[in-house]
Amino acid sequence: MKTQTYLLNRNNVYYFRRWIPRNLRAILGKNEVVRSLKTSDLRTARRAAIILVEKRLKKIKLE
């Protein structure tokens, strides 16, 4: 099974990792977003990543 490119496994813990679009990098002051999903299970990490993206999108739409 293919693993999504936004999931990163470090020391048996999955992280969410996404590059920030070039036009937003100067505003945000960083090139990528990396957040721990606090799980070693790939299936749980996939679900947690989807939830994380949905929350971020909601926050952006509200601002």
Query: Each residue of 13-61: pLDDT tens digit?
Result: 999 998 888 988 888 899 998 999 999 999 999 999 999 888 887 876 7
DSSP 3-state assignment of 12?
A: coil
Amino acid 8: pLDDT: 93
Please count the structural domains in the chain: 1
- Has residue 35 been placed in a domain? yes
Q: 2 falls in which pLDDT band (50, 70, 90)?
A: low
- The reply to whether 12 falls in a domain is yes
Residue 42 lies in a domain: yes
pLDDT for position 53: 86
Q: What is the pTM of this model?
A: 0.76
* 1 within a domain of the structure (yes/no): no
Structural domain boundaries enclosing 46: 7-62
**Comparing 36 with 2, which gets the higher pLDDT?**
36
Query: What distance in Å separates the CA atoms of residue 14 and residue 38, rounded to the nearest whole number?
Result: 7
What is the C-alpha separation between 22 and 37, in angstroms, rounded? 25
Q: Say if 40 falls within a structural domain.
A: yes
